[in-house]
Structure formats: C-alpha cells, structure tokens
Amino acid sequence: MSFQINHIAFSYENRPVIRDISLEIEPGYFYGILGPNGCGKSTTIDLLMGHRKPGAGTITYKGRDLFKYPRRELAREMALVPQNFYINFPFTGREIVVMGRYPHMPRFSAPSAKDLAVADTIMERTGTAAFKERYMTEMSGGERQRVVFARALVQETPVLMLDEATSNLDVNHTLKLMDIVSEDVRNRGRTVIAVIQDINLAATYCDRLILMKDGYVAAFGKTGDVLNTENIRSVFGVDSHVWFDTWSESKKVSFKRNNG
C-alpha cells in the first residue's frame, strides 16, 4: 500500500477545506482527482506531499507515518509538478532539471556524471533538450512548465504528483507528457496522483478517479465505474452524456450549453 488516509481534515484558519477523507492509494496506478474549484483537490496533494499537516486524522506512506519521514528521504519517494513555478533567477533549463537530482546527491556535492546523464536523458524524452542553455526567465509559461515536469521525472521517485501540471500546455505537449507518465505507470510501476480539470483528459489516462466535492470524497473507484452522468451531476451540477469512444479507447463526456 502506498498511502493509507484515515479521516483527515484540514482548515485554513477557520475555513474547512478537507472535512473527512479516507482513502487507500495502491501503488502502480494512475489516479485522477477531479472536482469543482475550491473543493480541496490541491490541498489534498499538499497533504500527501507532506507540505501541510492535517488538523485531524492520519496519513501513512508505506506503513509509516508520513510526517515521520525526513524531508530528504521523502524527496526520494515522491515528486511534484506544481501548477505554477515561480523563479526570478536566470537558471538554465538544464540547471533546473538537474535540481531534481539533489535528493540522490551527497550533501554539498556537485552533480555526478550519472546525475547529468539522467537529466539529459529525461530532457530528450520530454522534448526539453532544446532548452538546456535557455534561461528560465526567457521562456514562455508552457516551456517553463515542461522543464519543471522534466525536473520532477529526474527525481526518479516511485510516486509522482501532478497539480494541474498541464494547464499551461497545448494539446500536443499535454498528450506527450501524459503519455510518458502513463508509460511509467504501466512499465515501471510508478504511482501517479494528478489533479486534472479536463474530465476527458482524466478519462483517457487515469485508471482510477477520486471525485471531490465540498472537502469530501464523493466517489472513488475505477474510471469506468466512477465516470457516469449521475456522479457528474452530483459533483459538478451539470448534465452530461457519457459514452465509450472506441477510437480513443476511453470514456468521453460531452455537455450541453447552458443558455440560462
């Protein structure tokens, strides 16, 4: 078991965001977290990463209290691609990607030949090799996001978390990066937990879905079981048509315009 989440709750000051969540996250699957704005999706990622501590309940990772892990050890277990990455210093793309190797490097040591080779391999794989000598401050938002994605993959962690990680990307680069992640789930047993706004993107790639509403888990299970008109209406408050598309080999969702 990767994560055991038991009745966690979290509030920002006096505003409850996570009210009562219990989940078992098994390794080797692609999980999608979906729900309306403000329902607690990104906060859930923060809690699973150990960036925030729940006000109630417990989170264990590999049978051990998540918050008993030293930060460096945890960084060898899980990596994050955030929605926004801010940097004001003129680091090159390669320097940013190599930063993902720091959890594997002895303290105060320079990157080894292996670290640099891993970074270069991932940059080729993610199509970011052209940004090796480009400064992050001179890249577009989408280019920066692709470099940050590569940095997370370079950490070579069993768990990868994506917090709306493709929101700044065009459809071509979104599919390429999601293909890479999906391939790692299938062939390397990586666990991926992703906050995704696009329901059809989640339906295409995710093995299991976590639907959230008002700080609770409204539905959880295999994508084919969870993604239906009843759950979409309950969680998002909209009517939809859900069908299996043989061309994409996944479920698809369409919506009617609401003309008021």
> What pLDDT does residue 115 have?
93
Comparing 33 with 2, which gets the higher pLDDT?
A: 33
> What pLDDT does residue 105 have?
86
Strands (E), 180-234: 191-195, 208-213, 216-222
For the segment 196-252, what is each residue's pLDDT rounded down to a tens digit? 999 999 999 999 999 999 999 999 999 999 999 999 999 999 999 999 999 989 999
Residue 88 has pLDDT above 80, yes or no: no
Q: Which CATH class is domain 1-74+200-260?
A: alpha beta
> What pLDDT does residue 259 have?
62
Q: Which amino acid is at 86?
A: Y
For residue 57, how many other CB atoms are within 10 A of its CB? 16
Domain boundaries, the chain: 1-74+200-260
* Residues contacting residue 65 through CB under 8 Å, at least 6 positions apart: 58, 59
Q: Are 77 and 157 in contact (CB under 8 A)?
A: yes
Helix (H) or strand (E) holding 173: helix 171-188
CA nearest neighbour of 171 among 192, 194, 142 = 142
* pTM of the predicted structure, to 2 decimals: 0.94
Mean pLDDT on 27-32? 97
The torsion angles phi and psi of 40, rounded to 5 degrees, stand at 110, 15
d(CA 31, CA 83): 17
> What pLDDT does residue 215 have?
94
Q: Are 177 and 126 in contact (CB under 8 A)?
A: yes
Comparing 260 with 231, which gets the higher pLDDT?
A: 231
d(CA 256, CA 242): 12
Q: Are 168 and 177 in contact (CB under 8 A)?
A: no
Residue 84 has pLDDT above 90, yes or no: no
pLDDT band at 257 (very low <50, low <70, confident <90, very high): confident
Q: Mean of the per-residue pLDDT values for the chain? A: 94
> What pLDDT does residue 108 have?
78
Residue 260 has pLDDT above 60, yes or no: no
For the segment 123-175, what is each residue's pLDDT rounded down to a tens digit? 999 999 999 999 999 999 999 999 999 999 999 999 999 999 998 899 999 99
Tell me what percent of the residues of the chain surpass a pLDDT of 90. 88
Mean pLDDT on 179-197? 96
